[in-house]
Structure 1
């Protein structure tokens, strides 16, 4: 019926969501993941060994859901990448009620900026927070961590609707790349600072060399 039809503005919002949330952010996340692995070769080889163990002699087949669940180390590498370089560095929220914070009252209706980039580099939560350490996401090391200490997809009822899909997508692409290529980089992890735009991007692009692995 006419009442069920979306207005033009609503349709435009939906298109923007699919294009921005589902493309730019995932591409940026993958670029950062490759960068982190290229600048941490031992971690890269551990991830590649895990991937090789899952696919064994059939490296050309497509990844299944069971395959993705069988790569916990790669999953931790992705999580650690998004901790250091969350694709969306700032999220905005409009308060629905008065909110007490640090001895101050934020009134209902104001818009607050939340910075995952800063939250994820809190030394009180993440020891040696500037290092790339996928094992900080082992269950025994993250069990006491507050849920809001790690929010690459935002949090609450308005978090990223596509976060599960994005996580699967990154694992599919990275597992495909690691089966076939080894990444090298002559720079260090933080030699390529992030540009704080709507999507967090590496200032100098993803400057790496790729060498084909023996399948």
Structure 2
């Protein structure tokens, strides 16, 4: 059974993808951004990053959001992918996987437009096929799973599940127990709570687990 750790400021990430949503402000997200070994920016995100001391290793996207100044400044690390079948976040994650990077943390993928936020969160179920990926926001962490999994937690931590498939779900160590339930809408398994330092989810389909900071 795979176990998912709980992010904290002492843990570094090998690879970070910075999306063009709200720039991170939570100490955990900022620490991960500052200490990552390899940073890929979706093209619009570089406009926010240039206000910091952090330098990207690559900029990936269709490049429609790059300023003229940044096009010139970062010309040697820009990877332009003009196709419109995928969004810039997917282009950036795919780039990382093609570089052999399998441990990826996504930052800045929520906020601003709600349709982008929903789409980016749901895409975790696509990305998990090729890498170990987590999405960290200013409020918590999202992980996508498709098999039985254990999650590091703290007592009373808020937990929500979002079922992408109509799968059978059972929980252990959650305040509101789930026993062989099939959920048919995203809201139905939200707003639960951890009762211990870890909890388990058993599933035969895809779902997204959220743990609040």
Which one has a bigger Cα radius of gyration? Answer: 1
Q: Pick 1 or 2: higher relative contact order, CA cutoff 8 A, min separation 6.
A: 1
Q: Between Structure 1 and Structure 2, which shows a larger proportion of strand residues?
A: 2
When the two structures are superposed, what TM-score results if normalisation uses the length of structure 1? 0.22
For normalisation by structure 2, the TM-score amounts to: 0.22
More helix by share: 1
